[in-house]
């Protein structure tokens, strides 16, 4: 499929299949239940990521079927984690394996050994980063959808098609994920989105991409990447395990300060929108030096914002 058809198909398929995912998740017990670390008052089905995957695959499988390999693997690992609560080592091994699949399917314009290590590391980083920002209705889906729009403008060919399909599928998912959410992405969804961002970033560093597009694209994944860094700083400063959950994320801090949850989600989405616009301006000007400046400015701004809301300070409550 070419033209607008893949985008429309991704949206329609996701809108159509998300209610099915709700039923299947409810009947099989793949749900997020209320608890100490959960905000919802009732069980909410996971498996939203499966519907998003279906929408994306309808759009990209024909033109570039190899892209399905890491995306399907990521979703499968996340769904297994949702259902069976996999131990940390099993999750890490699975994420590394997904990274290897990205290496095989997405060549980049870097020396072989460097490319392999970098793509595996970025896969693990972004999978966990999206998982960390998936804490409020609309937040992860909306943020990654905006990043997808940026990649769709930045890239060409199958990379553009994947990015546009991802944004469209997430738009379809958000119909059901708006507050109060009827379904969550689940780990299946967050792993899928983190892997999709890695694939898109790899495409921006592909053999036919410019240096400017590769460097500028780093800003498009800055939000989930920064979330991992903030969590590590917070937990190390609090002498806690880096694997321990907490309620000290920037969006948690905003809610604790009295922000409505949709407003906190909107702050993340707006931040991603600003980074996306900056990325596209740099891409249009074809200036690698300006791209580096924007990346550094984005990192500094995110750190300042996190520090301002207390997201770098140890949380008083940490999950075991």
Q: For 167-195, write each residue's pLDDT tens digit.
A: 999 999 999 999 999 999 999 999 999 99
Domain boundaries of the chain, sorted by first residue: 5-308
Closest CA to 198 of 294, 103, 109, 273: 103
Give the mean model confidence (pLDDT) for residues 223-231: 98
pLDDT at 320: 47
| Cα atoms in the 13 Å half-sphere on the side-chain side of 259 | 18
Closest CA to 199 of 75, 58, 101: 101
Identify the three-state secondary structure at position 280: helix
Q: Which of 23-37, 176-190, 209-223, 289-303 has the lowest mean pLDDT?
A: 23-37
User: Residue 246's beta-bridge partner residues?
Assistant: 318
Q: Which of 15-24, 161-170, 185-194, 240-249 has the lowest mean pLDDT?
A: 240-249
Decide: residue 296, CB within 10 A, 0-12 exposed, 13-18 middle, 19+ buried. Answer: exposed
- Rg (alpha carbons) of the chain, rounded to whole number: 18
Q: How far apart are the first and last CA of the chain?
A: 48
Closest CA to 186 of 320, 8, 53, 12: 53
Closest CA to 177 of 290, 273, 264, 52: 52
Give the mean model confidence (pLDDT) for residues 288-295: 96
pLDDT at 6: 84
């Amino acid at each position: 499929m070419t033209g607008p058809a893949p985008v429309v198909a991704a949206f329609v398929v996701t809108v159509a299949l998300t209610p099915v995912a709700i039923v299947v998740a409810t009947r099989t017990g793949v749900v997020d239940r209320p608890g100490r670390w959960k905000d919802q008052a009732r069980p909410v089905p996971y498996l939203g990521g499966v519907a998003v995957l279906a929408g994306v695959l309808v759009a990209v499988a024909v033109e570039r079927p190899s892209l399905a390999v890491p995306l399907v693997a990521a979703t499968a690992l996340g769904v297994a984690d949702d259902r069976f609560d996999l131990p940390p080592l099993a999750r890490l091994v699975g994420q590394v394996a997904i990274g290897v699949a990205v290496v095989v399917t997405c060549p980049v314009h870097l020396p072989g050994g460097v490319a392999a290590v970098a793509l595996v590391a970025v896969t693990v980083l972004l999978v966990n980063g999206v998982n960390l920002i998936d804490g409020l209705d609309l937040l992860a889906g909306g943020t990654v959808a905006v990043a997808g729009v940026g990649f769709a403008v930045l890239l060409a060919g199958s990379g553009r098609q994947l990015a546009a399909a991802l944004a469209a599928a997430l738009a379809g998912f958000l119909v059901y994920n708006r507050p109060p959410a009827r379904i969550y992405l689940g780990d299946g969804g967050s792993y899928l989105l983190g892997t999709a961002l890695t694939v898109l970033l790899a495409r921006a560093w592909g053999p036919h991409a410019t240096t400017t597009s590769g460097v500028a694209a780093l800003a498009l994944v800055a939000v989930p990447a920064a979330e991992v860094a903030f969590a590590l700083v917070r937990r190390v400063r609090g002498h806690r395990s880096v694997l321990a959950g907490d309620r000290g994320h920037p969006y948690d801090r905003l809610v604790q300060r009295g922000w409505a949850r949709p407003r906190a989600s909107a702050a993340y989405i707006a931040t991603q929108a600003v980074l996306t616009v900056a990325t596209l301006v740099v891409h249009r000007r074809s200036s690698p030096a300006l791209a580096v400046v924007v990346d550094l400015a984005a990192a500094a701004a995110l750190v300042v914002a996190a520090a301002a809301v207390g997201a770098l300070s140890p949380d008083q409550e940490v999950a075991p």
